[in-house]
Amino acid sequence: MYYTNFLSPLGSLTITADSNSIITLDFTDDLDLNTNFPHLQNQENTILTKAKKWLETYFDAKEPNFSVTMHFIGSDFQKEVWDILCKIPFGKTISYGEIAQIIAKRRNIKRMSAQAVGRAVGSNKIAIIVPCHRVIGANGSLVGYASGLDKKLQLLKLEGALK
């Protein structure tokens, strides 16, 4: 396991990866690397270099035209939600309820809990690249962002999703 830091306009980000994919990406203030990853090496590999290039492009207010390999650690439901998050277009938003409707339709059930979706969104360990910041409340309000609503607001403004 490896990690590196990236200084963004919103503060320092820490990216962790194995030799194949990103494991976490989060604001450094929100991480406890020693507890969660006791065997990390502060060493950049090709995955981390590619992730930093992705972030550079993103923070230039451009949609990156390449992807970064990610390894999701979570339940099947969480992974399903995170997959939906990855499909939210740059500069667009979606509500927790809309995601719940997508899952209900996929599963051929009447209803899925927006609160369950919210918990899955909140457990995303790969910030920004898995754009949980693009998920908003049913009435368009900014709700729920682990790193703070101020960062969520700034990310959405950077993408042009909010004026």
Task: For residues 41 and 144, give the distance between their C-alpha atoms in angstroms, rounded to a whole number.
Answer: 31
Q: Name residue, tokens 């997508």.
A: 102
Active-site residue flag, 86? no
Let me know how long the chain is: 163
Q: Which of 70, 132, 135, 155 is catalytic?
A: 132
Picking from 43, 35, 34, the residue whose alpha carbon sits closest to that of residue 1 is 43
Residue type, 24: T
Sign of CA dihedral 113, 88, 129, 133: negative
Residues assigned a catalytic role:
132
